[in-house]
Structure 1
Amino acid sequence: MAVQLGYYTLSVGDLDRAAAFYGALFGWEFKREHETYLHVTNTAVPMGFTSGGPSSQPELYYSVDDVDAAAEQVRKLGGSTGEMLESKSGRGCTCTDDQGTVISLWQSAPGF
């Protein structure tokens, strides 16, 4: 299975301010998915903003064909998985490898 970066999010304090700032800086356009999430509609790698407060690092989601199978493999290899999250753009979960490093897995919904 070839895996590559499939999605990433930036956590910000205020979604509207982030849209104004990054829209003016990079020309990004946005679609509000719900009150705590903005999807950026015009980037090569799909991304969005969450309103969890400022963060110094983006959250990276590795794209997989079957997130349930990949999560099961994480557990078989000695890692652990968090809650499976679902949205219009797909399904994903946070995982911790067998050494404590946290990653996220993502299975895109059709059209995303």
Structure 2
Amino acid sequence: MTQKAAALQTYNNELVKCIEDLCSKRDELNRQIKLEEDEKERLQRDIRVLSEKLSKVNESLAQRLITRTNLDRTIAETEAAYTKILESSQSLLSVLKQEAGNLSKATGPRKKDH
């Protein structure tokens, strides 16, 4: 019986060691799981913050694009109007010079017939 008791004690010691090893592996796995859960929470928080920032930048960008489009339109309209003013000024100057020339001929000294 002593031999059986010794075998039983050996099996018992091996079972206890195996259980302790499994518990140790579980503890390590729990530590790794906790680290990954913490990392996951941090990343989700970062994603929320970055998503909010992205949304704000997109809103600002949309407003700036609208403003730029309006400025481009205003500049184009102003340049077109200024070009018309220049053309009108040129036409007015030409007409004025022609009229001044006609007036000079009409009011200038007449040649005497001999």
Structure-1-length-normalised TM-score: 0.15
Structure (1 or 2) with the greater helix fraction: 2
Question: Is the radius of gyration larger for structure 1 or structure 2?
Answer: 2
Structure of greater relative contact order (alpha carbons < 8 Å, 6+ residues apart): 1
